[in-house]
Amino acid sequence: MIAPDGQQLGILLTQEAIRRATNEGLDLIEIVPNADPPVCKIMDFGKYKYELSKKEKLQKKHQHVTQVKEIRFHPNTDTHDFEFKVRHARAFLEEGDKVKATVVFRGRQFAYQDQGRELLERFTERLADIGKMEQAPKMEGRQMIAVFVADKTKKKSAEKQLKTTQKET
């Protein structure tokens, strides 16, 4: 048994522990039920629950949920559209999200899978300085899919280069 101030009181009978807790106007809380004998502490249960909820909220606050953003192409996507979508993918990777690049084949375009693979290779080259390919291009039905993630080591080296160029000027 542990007192409210953290001092160990030793092994007590259950009735004795409950009596001490009620004398102090607090609750008897079983902390480690699987221990032999179980470990109990005298404390205010409402305050304990409040502190636990605060800890949980703080942990959730520091978590970052990674989202998968999809960018869709066709085998004959024009250069301007391609560059526009590359800029969006770069922004998504900088935010820490994953990017799913999809080349959609419709009708007779299915015969030009090599153009779709070439398009994804160009896309990979354009994102090489900020991200890396997590999943190589593969066909799923009438779509060719590749997944990219932000490469933190490349991002840090790019930030260092930017800082050194700013200091020189």
Flag whether pLDDT at 84 surpasses 90. yes
Flag whether pLDDT at 158 surpasses 70. no
Contact, 109 vs 134, CB < 8 A? Answer: no
d(CA 133, CA 137): 9
Class of the CATH domain delimited by 68-162: alpha beta
d(CA 107, CA 139): 15
Averaged pLDDT, 79-91: 92
Q: What is the mean pLDDT of the chain?
A: 86
pLDDT tens across 28-73, in order? 888 888 888 888 898 888 888 898 899 998 888 877 777 889 999 9
Averaged pLDDT, 71-91: 91
Instruction: Count CB atoms within 10 A of the CB of residue 150.
Output: 20
Burial of 148 (0-12, 13-18, 19+ CB in 10 A): buried
pLDDT at site 168: 66
Residue type, 3: A
**CATH superfamily, domain at 14-54:** Translation initiation factor 3 (IF-3), N-terminal domain (3.10.20.80)
pLDDT tens across 71-80, in order? 999 988 889 9
Instruction: Count CB atoms within 10 A of the CB of residue 154.
Output: 14
pLDDT tens across 106-118, in order? 988 888 888 889 9
Flag whether pLDDT at 87 surpasses 80. yes
Report how far apart, in Å, the C-alpha atoms of 136 and of each of 102, 139, 142, 146, 147 are. 12, 10, 16, 5, 7
The domain locations on the chain are 14-54, 68-162
Contact, 105 vs 75, CB < 8 A? Answer: yes
Residue type, 102: T
Helix (H, G, I), strand (E, B) or coil at 3: coil
